[in-house]
Amino acid sequence: MNIWVDADACPAAVREILFRAAERVFVPLTLVSNHRISVPASRWIQAVQVEQGFDVADHEIVRRCDQGDLVITSDIPLAAEIIEKGGHVLSSRGEEFTVDNVRQRLGIRDFLDTMRASGVNTGGPPPLAATDVKRFADRLDRTLTRLSNSP
């Protein structure tokens, strides 16, 4: 198993949790972004910088991700592609995307995009709160335990 991070929009607090988890459970962690990201010196952690462009990092994650890998992203279309490949997805707020919920979330996202395109202000997500960071850390621990125990 590898952990892939859609790092362009991943909050620093979540990255720090991921760094500690990779070291603790000895799992390769790769942050993929279209800008330079600093990572701690570790045999388990690396950063990959891709070219600038819309969804370039997402396409790289899809290309590299294998069945059973874990991807950290809040990008719903990316989450849907990873789930189709047999991967697992957590958002930076600790929400687990699954076969059962990702299509519904994709529909809501597309509806809100249509609303915004017609001039309706739908707002954005609230700022990341300490409770979100804790939820992410808890869900990550449970997910890593479950995936490491699966055949």
Give domain limits for the chain: 3-149
Coil vs helix vs strand at 91 = coil
Task: Indicate the CATH number for domain 3-149.
Answer: 3.40.50
pLDDT in tens, the chain (151 residues): 999 999 998 999 999 999 999 999 999 999 999 999 999 999 999 999 999 998 999 999 999 999 999 999 999 999 999 999 999 999 999 999 999 887 777 767 666 677 677 887 767 678 899 999 999 999 999 999 999 887 6
The enclosing H or E element of 6 equals strand 3-6
